């Protein structure tokens, strides 16, 4: 483990994100918690994705979360979504030995051959919701298998892409790669992360469909702004979108 990190591994959990929250809550009540903790489970009974969606958690895939101590505001902490996407991209590309087919999908997915291979979920933890002490970074990677009828087409390292590897070894690579990208973020700022993410973005400067809470917009994904919002150009105007689901015609 890199300096300043701990690892707790389980056969099964309800959710690695929920376990991170329990660790944070115990620490804030005087249980002596300090530092950053990775939590891994071989299986989850109640895995979650973005917007409360269920995350299928069959054994063989990677289910892990990082409880990361922060000393910044929520807007800055949200940049860790892009930091994590870059780390996952590097790990998957290295395993496949094919960096050109692994891309980042806004806001927080990673694709391989145009199909979803990983999802990322950020939540906060700590007593003060306005200024939380920790961010929980949940990462799911399709290692052994993938859902067949997902909202967005999915793939996996072993069953579809032919790379035999254990989830624990994927996590080992991810832990060290995350440490590298977090250090770059802390030392060089979000501009470096933003540019690296754009360099591997899927659909940039192409037509996309963005599904929001109560509308669907088709336009050109022209850029990523300084906060991480997607800039969509349509009907002669530009709109900065902070949350939504992106699809490609």
Q: Quick check: 197 pLDDT over 60?
A: yes
pLDDT band at 133 (very low <50, low <70, confident <90, very high): confident
Q: Quick check: 124 pLDDT over 60?
A: yes
Note whether 13 and 73 are same-domain residues.
yes
Q: What is the rounded distance in angstroms from the CA atom of residue 181 to the CA atom of residue 89? A: 11
Note whether 51 and 145 are same-domain residues.
yes
Buried b (16+ CB within 10 A) or exposed e, 223-239: bbeeebbbebeeeeeee
Tokens 């959990």 correspond to: 13
Q: What is the rounded distance in angstroms from the CA atom of residue 127 to the CA atom of residue 6? A: 22
- Note the pTM of the prediction, 2 decimals: 0.91
Is residue 21 within 8 Å of residue 123, measured between CB atoms?
yes
Q: Quick check: 57 pLDDT over 70?
A: no
pLDDT band at 157 (very low <50, low <70, confident <90, very high): very high
Q: Quick check: 27 pLDDT over 90?
A: no
Q: Quick check: 234 pLDDT over 80?
A: yes
Looking at the chain, which runs of residues are DSSP E strands?
Answer: 5-13, 36-44, 62-69, 102-105, 109-112, 115-125, 134-141, 207-211, 216-224, 230-234, 237-241, 245-247
Note whether 240 and 194 are same-domain residues.
no
Note whether 194 and 214 are same-domain residues.
no
Identify the CATH number of the domain in which residue 58 sits: 3.30.930.10
Note whether 135 and 35 are same-domain residues.
yes
| Domain extent for 15 | 5-199
Note whether 177 and 215 are same-domain residues.
no
Whole-number percent of the chain with pLDDT over 70: 91
Higher per-residue pLDDT: 112 or 45:
112
**Alpha helical stretches, state H, 110-189:** 167-188
pLDDT score for 32: 45
Note whether 187 and 239 are same-domain residues.
no
pLDDT score for 55: 52
Note whether 144 and 219 are same-domain residues.
no
In this prediction, residues 81-88 reach a mean pLDDT of 98
Q: How many domains does the chain have?
A: 2
Mean pLDDT for the chain?
90
Note whether 75 and 171 are same-domain residues.
yes
Note whether 30 and 149 are same-domain residues.
yes
In this prediction, residues 119-123 reach a mean pLDDT of 94
Note whether 76 and 155 are same-domain residues.
yes
Q: Quick check: 160 pLDDT over 70?
A: yes
Q: What is the rounded distance in angstroms from the CA atom of residue 67 to the CA atom of residue 124? A: 9
pLDDT score for 30: 45
Identify the CATH number of the domain in which residue 237 sits: 2.30.30.100
pLDDT score for 54: 53
Domain end call among 161, 180, 199? 199
Note whether 146 and 75 are same-domain residues.
yes
């Amino acid at each position: 483990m890199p300096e300043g990190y701990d690892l707790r591994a389980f056969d099964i959990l309800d959710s690695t994100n929920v376990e991170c929250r329990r660790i944070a809550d115990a620490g804030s009540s005087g249980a002596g918690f300090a530092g950053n903790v990775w939590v891994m489970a071989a299986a989850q009974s109640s895995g979650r994705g973005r917007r409360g969606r269920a995350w299928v958690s069959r054994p063989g895939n990677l289910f892990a979360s990082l409880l990361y101590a922060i000393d910044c505001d929520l807007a800055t902490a949200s940049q860790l979504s892009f930091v994590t996407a870059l780390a996952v991209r590097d790990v998957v590309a290295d395993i496949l030995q094919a960096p050109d087919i692994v891309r980042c999908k806004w806001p927080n997915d990673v694709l391989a051959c145009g199909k979803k291979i990983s999802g990322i979920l950020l939540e906060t933890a700590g007593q003060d919701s306005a200024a939380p002490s920790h961010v929980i970074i949940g990462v799911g990677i399709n290692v052994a298998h993938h859902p067949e009828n997902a909202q967005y087409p999915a793939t996996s390292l072993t069953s579809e892409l032919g790379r035999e590897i254990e989830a624990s070894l994927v996590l080992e690579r991810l832990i060290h790669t995350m440490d590298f990208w977090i250090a770059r973020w802390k030392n060089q700022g979000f501009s470096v992360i933003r540019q690296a993410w754009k360099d591997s973005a899927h659909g940039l400067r192409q037509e996309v469909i963005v599904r929001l809470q109560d509308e669907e917009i088709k336009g050109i994904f022209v850029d990523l702004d300084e906060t991480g919002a997607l800039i969509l150009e349509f009907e002669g105007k530009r709109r900065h979108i902070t949350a939504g689901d992106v699809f490609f015609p």
